[in-house]
Structure 1
Amino acid sequence: MVNNNSDNKTEDIGPIKFIETLQSFQLIKWHSFFPTKNPIGYDPDMPPVITWIFKNKTEEKDIIKILSNILLRSSKYIDWNLDRQKSGKWILMPAEVREELRNNEDYIFIDAAEAVKNKSPGFGTIANQEIKQLSFCLNDELNSWKKRVCK
């Protein structure tokens, strides 16, 4: 289902909130994600896949440790998979999407997410809501981290 409702604010979209959080601390130099708003609308049932590259390798280790702890302690409904590719890109996605990729060598991220969406209606909506909530936790933790680093 694609939602063309103009009341659907950008800040309500989980992956956008996650990237905006990293950007607000000037931590990343590149990113990509879906689902997102686009000319045909927004599909809240599509499980999120978020990729980014950090600006600074020193900060990268700290931030991944913070993010990993948040995923372990604050994730309520979704098992998240956080991986670093050889290219240096970090990828965050539900474990179900990662499993589809492993089981279907010809799939790309969007194919795997679409397969999960079709197999488990409602899963993507829950995952998008959870990534938005995890973004708030990440923002709080990054604020604390920044205070420690800037002393």
Structure 2
Amino acid sequence: MSAQQKATDLGIDLSDQPNGYLNLCIKSGNQLITSGHVSDIKGILGGGLSVEEGYKAARECAEKILRSVRNTHGTLDGLKVVKLLGCVYSAPDFTDQHLVINGASDLFHELYGKDGDGYHARSALGFAALPTGVAVEVEAVFEIV
């Protein structure tokens, strides 16, 4: 089954997006590079939000990324996930950013395969604050294969 069909079966919103202030996904050569996509979930990991809530926030970011990629590229098929950058609004002693960003990585593994085109490089970093108090922001780079 194709990545596009898997995303549709999971109920991921792939509808058209209006142009905004910034380009949410840009094609450069054979790459698709996304802007940071933020969660609707707000709060501080380790300061009121659990790892499980952060995981959901990261998955939410990945779903938004997929919508932007589909809008730019026309499909989710024929892509390789190259790199993710995950930013986590973290309490000073919170050290499980990697477990939070698994929410995004796991979705890409589900769509593209953990051992195949979904196998990607990743950074998961803690931040003292994120825009508007969101819990997670994720950006991604895809290769058109």
TM-score normalised by L of structure 2: 0.30
Q: Greater relative contact order: 1 or 2 (C-alpha under 8 angstroms, separation 6 or more)?
A: 2
Rg bigger for which structure?
Answer: 1
Structure with more helix by fraction = 1
